[in-house]
Amino acid sequence: MNNLALTVKRTWLVALLLLLAALLPACTVVKVAYNQLDTLLYWRLDGYADFTREQAPRVQESLAQFHQWHRRTQLPAYAELLQRLRPKLAGSISPEQACSMFDQVRGAADATLDPAQWTLVWMATELTEEQLRKIEKKQASSDADWRKEWLVNMTPEKLLDARFEKALSRSEMLYGNLDGPQKAALRVGLGASSFDPSRSYAERQRREHDLLNVLRKINADKLDTEQARALLAAYMGRALLPPDLADQRYTQMLVRDGCATFSRLHNSTTPAQRAQAAVTLDRYTRDFRLLIAQR
The mean pLDDT of the chain is 88
CA distance 248 to 188: 24
pLDDT, tens digit, for every residue of 251-261?
999 999 999 99
Higher-pLDDT residue of 28, 220: 220
Which pLDDT score is estimated for 7? 37
Residue 295: pLDDT over 80:
no
What is the pTM for the complete model shown?
Answer: 0.86
CA distance 248 to 240: 9
Taking residues 152-174, report their average pLDDT: 94
CA distance 291 to 199: 39
Reported as a pLDDT band with limits 50, 70 and 90, residue 30 is low
Other CB atoms within 10 A of residue 159 CB: 16
Single-letter amino acid code for the residue at 67 = H
Reported as a pLDDT band with limits 50, 70 and 90, residue 36 is confident
The string of DSSP letters for 217-284 reads: HHHHTT--HHHHHHHHHHHHHHHHS-SSHHHHHHHHHHHHHHHHHHHHHHHHS-HHHHHHHHHHHHHH
pLDDT, tens digit, for every residue of 3-20?
434 433 333 333 333 333
pLDDT, tens digit, for every residue of 170-191?
999 999 999 999 999 999 999 9
